[in-house]
Homo-oligomer: A and B are copies of this chain.
Amino acid sequence: MNSELQTTSALLEAWPAMTPEERLEAFERIPRAEVDDFFLELPPRDQAALILALPAGERRIWMRLLAPDDATDVIQEVPEEERAGFMAMLGQTARREVTALMAYQEDDAGGLMSPRFARLRPEMTIDEAIAYVRRQAQSGLVETVHYSYVLDSEQRLLGVVTFRRLFSGQRDQIVRDIMRSELTKASEDMDQEQLAQLFTEKHLLAIPIVDDTGHMKGIVTVDDIVDVVEEEASEDIQKIGGTEALDGRYLEVGFLQMVRKRGGWLAALFLGEMLTATAMGHFEKEIAAATVLALFIPLIISSGGNSGSQATTLVIRAMALGEVRLRDWWRVVHREFASGLTLGLMLGSIGYIRILLWQSLGWYDYGVHFQIVALTVACSLVGVVLFGTLAGSTLPFILRLLRQDPASASAPFVATLVDVTGLIIYFRVASFILAGTLLK
């Protein structure tokens, strides 16, 4: 084994790149005093794989080490047929908690929730409340004491007390008088992305989850939200790049899954891009008559694609962060129209100057009509960049309206759309400007 893997933190760092066999071997060499903490720091997928790789007799202690929400995550990572066996490894209380948590969708608030939160009754005095929280902490039944939740006798959530409030109260005050009853809560089926937005807006360390009738089911703590935010950003980034979101880490995803996730989109884009060949077919006569036009095809269509990629990624991200909503579409279109026109004029001017420059320096001969060829290229660039910008910025809105993920308006998708339209714009502009000179 590699000598740099001798400390557990070096091992954790190298972990993602190791094979299953190397992992098992390394895991079994970790000193007894450090192995628990090491195990708890692994992601659920790796914890599940490790337990599966261990002999049956050694599995139980690892499952029992996990808090109920983490045990639930691990069980959701093991194959269907192994799940009952994993459940049987748990203690009675934990098994009941895990069974309740398993009912939730992984991507819902309920799936992130822990049933271990500090509870108080409204009629307790501050001193009683502190002693009670302390007892709950001692028995390992709370994830955080930052907030204690005040429940009535039927487990309905009445309010929340922060530790600061609890510790700074007078000993004879009662909980009801110091609790805050207007508080942020979430329902069990709230999507994890929305829940993450709630956390960033409110800057809370935990949010209570309640059912329709106001009964408290558990809490979600902010440390789990960091993972959600990273996961959602990864999904969006992969989609923007024109791939279906991967199910795991890049180096761990199987070759077949990788090719499938990429090949599907790539083939779909390819079929769309075939329309460019069709469009070009319509202009074959023009190309034959004025080959010089063909020279600028890649330049023009890619400028449209690039400006479209910019616009779509900006809007997709702003939507994901809740900065732009459906009702803002008009402001966005307005803004992007101005941006697209400005950027198009800029690129058009550069293109115009480039052609005149090359011609006058004798670097290339665009023929006697080089000035109107330059004008054709410049005007087409303005049109294509403007179209690309508008298409890129409106597509995410259309997808959201159709209840699809706006991130599917990926950079390659927008580029493909703009390629076809860009060709049509270019040849229409050319027919118009070059009629009577290069084109009849």
Contacts and interface: CB of A to CB of B under 8 A. Distances in A.
Interface of A: 12-13, 16-17, 40-41, 130, 133-134, 137-138, 140, 142, 144-146, 163-164, 167-168, 196, 199-205, 221-223, 225-227, 229-230, 233-234, 236-238, 240-243, 246, 249-251, 255, 258-259, 262-263, 265-267, 269-271, 273-274, 276-278, 280-281, 284, 287-288, 291-292, 294-299, 301-303, 305-307, 309-310, 312-318, 321-325, 328, 331-332, 335, 338-339, 342-343, 346-347, 350-351, 354, 364, 385, 410-412, 415-416, 419, 423
Contact of A339 (B259, B274, B307): B259
A201 B241 CA distance: 26
29 contacts: A137-B167, A137-B168, A145-B163, A145-B167, A200-B227, A222-B223, A226-B226, A226-B229, A234-B317, A237-B317, A241-B411, A249-B323, A251-B324, A251-B331, A255-B338, A263-B342, A266-B303, A266-B347, A269-B303, A269-B306, A271-B350, A273-B303, A284-B295, A287-B287, A294-B297, A298-B298, A301-B302, A302-B305, A302-B419
Nearest to A327: B17
Interface centre among A241, A296, A412 (most CB of B within 10 A): A241
Contact of A273 (B295, B299, B338): B299
A198 B377 CA distance: 51
A277 B332 CA distance: 33
A299 B267 CA distance: 12
Contacts of A16: 322-323
